[in-house]
């Protein structure tokens, strides 16, 4: 399973998680920041570019980042919506 597929399966389990994530990703008012999910963090570099990475605490107690993925907003919203549509979660309308 690739990283994006694992990210989508892990983080988009219900309507609430989908709504919160999509509002963060699509918002033009949030220019940079982080959205912390169950296992993954979405880093918003600017209003168009994101880094998605699995984060965990290593054996030394330090925060570890595993195989980050860089993606643009339009592609990320499309992947999120395709995944939730297949799971039967109701889509919400946001400006992309």
Q: So what's the pLDDT on residue 96? A: 52
E-strand ranges in 45-86 read 49-57, 63-72
**What residue ranges define each of the domains in the chain, with the CATH number in brackets?**
3-87 (2.30.31)
Provide the CB-side half-sphere exposure for 1 (13 A, CA).
8
Q: How far apart are CA 10 and CA 13, in angstroms?
A: 7
Q: So what's the pLDDT on residue 34? A: 95
Q: What is the pLDDT of residues 18-67, one digit of tens each?
A: 999 999 999 988 889 999 999 999 999 998 999 999 988 878 888 888 88
Q: So what's the pLDDT on residue 38? A: 92
């Amino acid at each position: 399973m690739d990283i994006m597929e694992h990210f989508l399966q892990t983080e988009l389990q219900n309507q609430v998680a989908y709504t919160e994530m999509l509002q963060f990703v699509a918002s033009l008012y949030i220019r940079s920041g982080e959205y912390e999910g169950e296992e993954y963090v979405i880093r918003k570099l600017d209003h168009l570019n994101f880094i998605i990475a699995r984060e965990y605490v290593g054996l030394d107690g330090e925060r570890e980042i595993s195989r980050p993925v860089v993606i643009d907003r339009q592609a990320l919203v499309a992947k999120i919506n395709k995944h939730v549509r297949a799971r039967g979660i109701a889509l919400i309308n946001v400006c992309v």
